[in-house]
Chains A and B, each alone.
Chain A
């Protein structure tokens, strides 16, 4: 006997103890596919015969089964399953996971069972148990057919058991091996003329007899609702049936198709919603045609899984956990979607928007509810553009993801509710993205990035980031990027120096980078500026009302609490962009800039008061006194003279330290006191400028710098060939000039924004700070040889690994954003950067 079992089956073996179920299972199924009650009894009690452990054993068994079913694995329950209640459990489990259920019954003669039991090597249950089991089996067999198993096989002799062959079948809906390309066509509703026009536009040749020839390799897929309402239902059916028969099209069933089928099957259905038109038009057709239609409709499936599981087509869409499964519920969802059970003012059912919560990997293409135009939402798209209601007939080209539409020739049917709303305020994606979910950011996470592959975030870092993000960060809709941390160059061995450009150049030379750009490092606070052309642009791009941009700190906080000040600064940047003709030049209505905002004292007030100025004040006051008492003492005491000299130097260092931090401080009483130095034009509409050189960034940004109303500060820069001695010397000189003038130092970047070296991604930038500036980092007296020697041992590895991961995540966030991916996809990248920032790394690097 051939036992045909679909891949998504939950199989109950039914039969008395000792009838060879386990032996049979081992022969036909993988060991991991078999969940045996004996095994679970042993697991919980160390004794597979301990009937008292059955309750616990079955609890575990069903829990294991549930896990396997949720992962789409064929599963066999190897237990006697002689009680109706036990079989009920199996059936319920199959139903819960939209599985097909099967029972294989071992109805063997009593003497065979007794004989098997005797010959068992390990244990015997005894004749009385077997006789009892056989009684139960006989009772079971009476009603088994009606219990609801989709497949039921009864093996009635040892020979049948011996010769049985298990044949696994794929589900009908499973068409993973069809990889397209496809043209997926929305609800046709009898609009034959428009369908023919659309097919022609897609490159199909349609003959006068409605025979269709597709362009080579392509296949059409209809999302259902071929019938009702429109002018030529038989024509549409003829065309589609022809294509499906010829293997040039697939078609899933729509709710209208299903209803017509029920009518054709003689069922009593209410003739409304355009069914009358179908029936009237079918009247003129032959009985044979009507029968062919009936058979065609009967065979239509609720959905298809295509292209290795990457594409799902269903009439009303399909939630992730229903995809590729088979049950009444799955089919109902595919046909009708989900409704709240309520009706709206037009008397139509209120639909639940399953797509708003969709998290699946597969793209879902569907129709069913007419929309003004197709819109992406969480990797799903509705392509029913209401042809029959005077809209358009739309096809989605897959995998190109472009759509092609033809206008309907006229309005064949009055839509129950308007589906062509007035100008769209916000895209469906922005509307749905109002809310982020805890489960999208919590726990250990793996984020796929284009630049670095998968980046792993540990659970404890996510935990830390949740607090920071919730308590301090700006509205997540503005968080499309956070800047990566930056490592210094390797530690210099030059006397009196910790950092020197030679090491920065050497790093890039070793990485195979030929040219680098040295940029002046401004000493302020890192600032990400997102500036929109106007409020409309902010609303349409970011979904934020009443704002036109934002200034963010490197940890995603709003830079200024003072809204008016932020507004004034943004307005100045906007004016500069206007004047530089930036909107037209970059074809965008918004920009995202990576900048430094000066003065440092504007943001670092707390730090200045509690640390820098405090240490300055304490050291100046203390060392002045020390110097004076030591001077007094050294007049009499030579030992004190040594101490005096040492503390005189310390007093000098404290003055130099004070001078160092003062350079970056000035009072800010108005907008005019701020300076903003943009150095990356990160992203504009549709583009992340990661593929451009830093020269391009500098030149583009300088266009707005000229008209920045005193706010914008240009970043001076120099390009250096790192293999040429003279150029290196030139770079070193440039750095010395910068730092002697009181500059913080410079940042060295490969000329290209992102570079892959011999061992993967290369540091996007390393910094090289000046010796005076470093007093702010390592303390007033760090230059003293006794200190410097120890400070030189510092490990850059962790910092550099972080810098790369954060860079990859930041770029990924921007790329996802310009692709208009769901907010949670952008947010998870920025969240991950914050999470990485909670890694303990030497904060002085």
Chain B
């Protein structure tokens, strides 16, 4: 919320002309979210500092919001870092308070505005999601010297670790409007958030303020994606216009997929599951824990499956799955159904199917609830075939970005070794009258096995 700009060039007081603000005064500007104050803490012949102080109304943030639901969750809190940190609020203030300077215009000193001068910009608190490395990767290619000091969360509780907040000083020889444009774009990129709805207009803003530097920036993809708040479609169109080349990434990739080398493994896994389902001869299949319906859509393209029912406990995931199903041809859609349900409750709607796929689901269940899940699936729903996949934890050491000892996803309650999975699966098969075989999914390592393990259960004929 505090930005200071220092010009070290005689006469330094020209900074006042460049910003269009009188260095002897302290001016205030009303903004929709509070007030901006501009004043000059230091005015000497060789050094002049202008300060932009945002006084954001913390109660107004919560109470005066008119926004589409689901946007900007952090703004529902009174206990909020927004009033104290540099964020998209600061970008808005820059464009409103220093609009001319940001546009490279200066009535009194037009030439100075077009001249590269020694500037220093200091942000009292800047949230850097992605750490100091990312901060440097953003500003250093633009020719700045970066000095950053990180703040701990609470010096009294060192065990809580560091905060994401840095005090950042950028210094370099540049034109004022370049400096302001860089800040305008990169502050929300570092914060990785925006206080307002990101729509098509944001693409224009990015291209406008990124003109002349974004195309050549080595982090342009990250900048674009974060600036557009990971809205895949928008980022795609912006990148296309920046680079005039296609980017093949769907949506913002969740952590698990990044770790598993993008979506590759996921595709391999779905292929393996589909193959196992095909092989079982199943016509009517359940996709238990269908999530957003990727497997569902894959199966729907296969005419062998005449009825495909996706079940998930998350109404949100089902909503997305529904939207995606709606894009399929009608005859394909008519073979698919979605049900809101839980694997913890016996459910007659799940009875009478030929096969069930339980893909990357069991590791999200608490072990004490396993007995309920096993009975719901193998005793009551009792499909003739069941395909279960789960991560093979032994393989985790092969994922470079995954810290040792942590799971591939935050919600994983466990990840099993091959023998743990096989012990469980064999036990289930014995207790409920199934035979099970195991399939390695993904590139197989001689010692570690494959990244995903799959158990294919078949009901034993009744004697």
Find out whether the CB atom of B1 lies under 8 angstroms from the CB atom of A622: yes
Residue A779 is within 8 A (CB to CB) of chain B in the complex: yes
Task: Chain A residues near B371: list those with CB within 8 A.
Answer: 434
Partner of A778, one of B4, B78, B83: B78
Contacts of A778 in B (CB 8 A): 78-79
The answer, yes or no, to whether B29 is at the interface (CB within 8 Å) is: no
Within 8 A of B (CB), among A603-656: 608-609, 611-619, 621-623, 625-626, 629-630, 632-633, 636-637, 639-640, 643, 654
Q: Tell me whether A632 and B81 are in contact (CB under 8 A).
A: no
State whether A618 touches B163 (Cβ < 8 A).
yes
The total of interchain contacts (Cβ-Cβ below 8 angstroms) comes to 172
Complex CA distance for A294 and B2, rounded to whole angstroms: 102
Interface residues on B, range: 35 or more
Residues of B within 8 A of A637 (CB): 24-26, 39
A429-443 interface (Cβ within 8 A of B): 434-441
Contact A781 B58 (CB under 8 A): yes
Q: How far is the CB of A657 from chain B (nearest CB, A)?
A: 8
Instruction: Say yes or no: A614 contacts B153, CB within 8 Å.
Output: yes
Q: Is A741 an interface residue (CB 8 A)?
A: no
Are B345 and A617 neighbours in the complex by a CB distance under 8 Å?
no
Does A670 belong to the interface (CB within 8 Å)? no
Q: 1/0 per position for B313-331, CB-CB distance to A under 8 A?
A: 1110000000000000000
By a CB distance below 8 angstroms, the chain A residues around B344 are 436, 469-470
- With A437-B345, A466-B340, A782-B78 as given contacts, are A618 and B26 in contact (CB-CB < 8 Å)? no
A405 to chain B, nearest CB (A): 35
Distance to closest chain B CB from A520 (angstroms): 24
Considering only residues 33-75 of chain B, those with a C-beta below 8 Å from chain A are 37, 39-42, 49, 51, 53, 58-59, 63
A662 touches B (CB below 8 Å): yes
Interface residue ranges of A821-845 to B (CB < 8 Å): 844
Please, how many angstroms separate the alpha-carbon atoms of A221 and B4 in the complex? 93
Whether a CB of chain B sits under 8 angstroms from the CB of A665 is: yes
Contact of A626 among B2, B314, B343, B346 (CB under 8 A): B2
A732-749 vs B, CB cutoff 8 Å, 1 = contact: the mask equals: 000000000000000000
Task: Determine whether the beta carbon of B79 is less than 8 Å from that of A632.
Answer: no
User: Roughly how many angstroms separate A469 CA and B340 CA in the complex, as a whole number?
Assistant: 14
Q: Is the CB of B368 closer than 8 A to any CB of chain A?
A: yes
Q: Is the Cβ of A466 less than 8 Å from the Cβ of B59?
A: no
- Which residues, 417 to 453 on A, are CB-close (under 8 Å) to B? 434-441
Q: Which B117-169 residues have C-beta < 8 A from chain A?
A: 124-125, 127, 151-154, 156-157, 159-161, 163-165, 167
In contact, A469 and B342 (Cβ under 8 angstroms): yes
The interface residues of chain A lying within 8 Å CB-to-CB of B85 are 618, 622
Task: Give, as a whole number of angstroms, the nearest-CB distance from B87 to chain A.
Answer: 10
Q: Is the CB of B78 within 8 A of A622?
A: no
B residues in contact with A654, CB < 8 Å? 84
- In whole angstroms, what is the CA distance A614 to B83 when docked? 12
Q: Is the CB of B313 within 8 A of A467?
A: yes
Please tell me if A487 contacts chain B, counting CB pairs below 8 Å.
Answer: no
Task: Indicate whether A790 reaches chain B with its CB closer than 8 angstroms.
Answer: yes
Contact B160 A609 (CB under 8 A): yes
Cβ of B153 and Cβ of A625 under 8 Å apart? no
Closest to B24 in A: A637
Q: Would A622 and B125 count as touching, CB distance under 8 A?
A: yes
Specify which chain A residues have a CB less than 8 angstroms from the CB of B40 in the assembled complex: 633
Those of A778-795 within 8 Å (CB) of chain B: 778-782, 787, 790-791
Are A441's CB and B345's CB within 8 A? Answer: yes
Q: Complex: how many Å from CA A611 to CA B84?
A: 13
Flag whether A343 is at the interface (Cβ < 8 A): no
Q: Is A475 an interface residue (CB 8 A)?
A: yes
Q: List B contacts of A777 (CB < 8 A).
A: 78-79
CB-based contact A622/B124 at 8 Å: yes
A385 on interface, CB distance cutoff 8 Å? no
Interface residue? B341 (CB, 8 A): yes
B80 at the binding interface (Cβ < 8 Å): yes
A467 touches B51 (CB 8 A): no
A404 adjacent to chain B (CB < 8 Å): no
With A438-B341, A464-B315, A632-B42 already in contact, the answer to whether A640 and B26 are too (CB < 8 A) is yes
Q: Which residue of B lies closest to A631 (CB)?
A: B41
Instruction: Output the least CB separation between A844 and chain B (Å).
Output: 7
B368 touches A475 (CB 8 A): yes
Other-chain residue from B24, B78, B164, B313 in contact with A779 (beta carbon distance below 8 A): B78
12 additional contacts (CB under 8 A) given A614-B153, A621-B167: A437-B345, A438-B349, A475-B368, A613-B153, A617-B151, A617-B163, A621-B125, A626-B2, A630-B53, A632-B41, A643-B39, A643-B53
Interface residues of A (CB under 8 A from B): 434-441, 463-464, 466-467, 469-471, 474-475, 601, 608-609, 611-619, 621-623, 625-626, 629-630, 632-633, 636-637, 639-640, 643, 654, 658, 662, 665, 667, 776-782, 787, 790-791, 844
Can you report 6 A-B residue pairs in the complex whose CB atoms are below 8 A from each other?
A434-B372, A434-B375, A438-B347, A470-B342, A618-B127, A622-B125
Interface residues of B (CB under 8 A from A): 1-2, 4, 24-26, 37, 39-42, 49, 51, 53, 58-59, 63, 77-81, 83-85, 124-125, 127, 151-154, 156-157, 159-161, 163-165, 167, 313-315, 340-349, 364, 368-369, 371-372, 375-376, 380, 411
